[in-house]
Structure 1
Amino acid sequence: MPFATTRATLSRQWALLRQLPGRSPGITSAELVWRLRDVGFTVSKRTVERDLNELSLIFPLERNDKSIPFGWHWSSSAGGELRGNFDLQAYLRGDSLQPVQEQGMELQAWVSDHLARQLREAPLTADMQLTALEQGHRLRATVVDGWPLRWWLLGQGEGLVVEQPAALRDEIGKTLANAAAQYQG
């Protein structure tokens, strides 16, 4: 089950990012523990602190250490009013570590009902479409290709299955199969 553990870690860290406010004084690790419990993740304060320290190396997060307990929040350089939701599309467009494609890539995926509800609250893109299916929803959106997109896709675990483009579907499938193979035996 270590593959499930990795998937749970990514999902938890994604949920953690969504809980962070857009300005100082921020939110404490203890408060984040309770908020994560409310969305289904039972973790220790130390785990939340470790996650925040790791995520601050990748995302524009700041720790307000003017008073104890410390508060975490999105950096003012993250842009715009975040209202506690991470703007994935803005992050994908603004990532200086990858070349930005002018036209974007058409993504089609099956998503769970739970993820569809989250995406309605914080759309992936302006042109995103969700179509209800007998089970789950079909997601269509024009996205910027790159490692942040892959990180997000992998972080959704069993709540998302890439359908198109075929090359991305194959890549994600191979990544998941290789990760699962590491834990066999």
Structure 2
Amino acid sequence: MNKPLNIDEFCKYHTYKPNKYKKSPKKIEYSSEKTATEIPCESQKKQLEKKKKYPQFQVELYEKIKAFRQKNNQTPVDLLGAQQQGDISLPQNDFQFQLLISILLSVQTKDEITDQVMKKVEKNKITIQKINQMSESQILQIIQEVNFNQKKATFIKNAAKIITEQFQGQVPDKYEDLIQIKGIGPKVAHLFLQIAQQKNIRNCC
């Protein structure tokens, strides 16, 4: 048979005693103004979660590149990159086609070489219509200094054909349309949209 509960006895052994060695909690002061970074939205939370999963070597590499870019504001890609290419005196669509060509040519090619070749592209007033009238060998003569020039000549010829036949001669302004063109992968499509259309699309490939 259970003994009746003695309240005084229970309290004697169960009264809370503060730990004298326990550190007092730090006082946290909050700013009266809360920014967007302090209250992340759902998409930002997902991005932060992904960031945590990056391998350590990638994080270290990113920090090194970031530090280098802060010290060296002007690099070849800044001075001679795709954003500096194309004949702005041409109609917008033809200018954008030259811009697309410059990004295609820049793949696995130094910026200095791409810049030299683009000077020839601009001098020859290359447009979609003109490429349609040229042979691959004629295109190759203009772009011969770049790496993988034969493949790139084929890609340029093919791009002009598809743009003419499938997009009414207008350079596509959507990622999904651009990557349908052989030779235009995610990197080329992203760069083109970022420079030509000021679009920065993420997590689409």
Note whether the superposition's TM-score is higher than 0.5.
Answer: no
The structure with higher relative contact order (CA 8 Å, sep 6+) is 1
Task: Flag the structure with higher helix content.
Answer: 2
Scaled to the shorter chain, the TM-score interval is under 0.3
Q: Compute the TM-score of the two structures, normalised by the length of structure 2.
A: 0.24
Task: Flag the structure with higher strand content.
Answer: 1
